[in-house]
Amino acid sequence: MAYRMQDRINHAGSRFKVTNSETVTLSRDGESDVQVTASPIQMEAEDYTPDGSVTRVEYHDWVIDVADYAFASVLTEPTSGDTITRANGDVYRPVSFGGSSKFTVNEPIFKYTTSDRLRYRVHTILSTKG
């Protein structure tokens, strides 16, 4: 049984890559900017295009403390209009966890990482290369 669990962990680990935390800029409506510490998680997945063909997509999830996700000192949840910008100028925009699949209905753009709801996992794609 322990071997099966380790196999699952190894398989899951091969699908995404967690890197160290970094300082990023959160923006809302292009006006409010706040710098926070976030941990990026890079993943690759297959996604469906509008014509039904399959394409490889690279997603970037960002783990951010709920207490840091604030604009004008007001805590808020991530929204689809927000952007996350890395120091190198790469800009990410939130998308639903279901991707662009036509089968996705009302999928959120973020999830809580644990039951204590202290961190968001914001699902994004690279919007602009820096």
Would residue 9 count as lying in a domain? Answer: no
Overall number of domains in the chain: 1
Q: How far apart are CA 68 and CA 118, in angstroms?
A: 10
Would residue 79 count as lying in a domain? Answer: yes
Would residue 2 count as lying in a domain? Answer: no
Q: Which residue segment(s) compose the domain that 77 sits in?
A: 17-128
CATH number of the domain that 95 lies in? 2.40.10
pLDDT in tens, the chain (130 residues): 444 554 554 444 444 455 689 999 999 987 789 999 999 998 877 777 788 888 777 788 999 999 999 998 899 999 989 999 999 999 999 988 765 554 455 678 999 988 899 999 999 988 888 7
Long-range CB contacts for residues 103-110, cutoff 8 Å, separation at least 24:
103/48, 109/78, 109/79, 109/80, 110/77, 110/78
Distances (CA, A) of 39 to 7, 86, 99: 25, 11, 20
pTM of the entire structure? 0.74
Would residue 48 count as lying in a domain? Answer: yes
H-state helical runs in the chain: 2-15
User: Is residue 61 packed enough to be buried (19+ CB in 10 Å), middle (13-18) or exposed (0-12)?
Assistant: buried
Residues 58 and 12: beta-carbon distance below 8 Å: no
Would residue 6 count as lying in a domain? Answer: no
Would residue 82 count as lying in a domain? Answer: yes
Would residue 4 count as lying in a domain? Answer: no
Which of 48, 49, 40, 47 lies closest to 17, judged by CA? 40
Q: How far apart are CA 83 and CA 115, in angstroms?
A: 25
The pLDDT value given to residue 49: 76
Would residue 52 count as lying in a domain? Answer: yes
